[in-house]
């Protein structure tokens, strides 16, 4: 039997972007990977903002499915022996928009797409 070659990866991209991500599922495990969506795709995102995670764990900042987190996301892409590998790391949560808070302030729209704050 032949020996296996060591697995090698080459870092191709390492950039930080401000992004809005919707929570699909928060992880309670120690790996801190949450499932999040940018509205088009769902990714596993490592939440690395310790201050945010501490607020969540102390129930000071509850997080629910559909909440939107706006923050600094590091995107790293590696070339591997079998193709590309991409990792997403939410380094800093700058804003937390709760889905229920958005829904309570949303006014219905008329047929022309204008908001109508008056009750029926």
Domain ranges of the chain: 10-99
pLDDT in tens, 37-88: 999 999 999 999 999 999 998 889 999 999 999 999 999 999 999 999 999 9
Beta strands 33-37; 42-47: pairing state: antiparallel
For residues 44 and 26, is the Cβ–Cβ distance under 8 A?
no
Beta strands 42-47; 83-97: pairing state: parallel
Residue 116 has pLDDT above 50, yes or no: no
Task: Kindly report the CATH number that applies to the domain delimited by 10-99.
Answer: 2.40.50
Q: Alpha helix locations (H) across the chain?
A: 50-57, 99-104
Beta strands 10-25; 83-97: pairing state: unpaired
pTM of the model: 0.75
């Amino acid at each position: 039997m032949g020996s296996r070659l060591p697995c090698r990866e080459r870092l191709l991209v390492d950039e930080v972007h401000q992004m809005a991500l919707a929570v699909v599922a928060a992880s309670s495990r120690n790996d801190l990977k949450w499932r999040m969506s940018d509205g088009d795709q769902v990714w596993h995102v490592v939440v690395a903002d310790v201050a945010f995670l501490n607020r969540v764990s102390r129930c000071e900042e509850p997080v629910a499915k559909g909440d939107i987190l706006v923050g600094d996301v590091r995107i790293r892409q590696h070339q591997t022996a079998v193709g590309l590998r991409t990792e997403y790391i939410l380094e800093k949560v700058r804003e937390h928009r709760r889905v229920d808070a958005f829904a309570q302030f949303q006014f219905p729209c008329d047929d022309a797409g204008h908001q109508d704050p008056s009750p029926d």
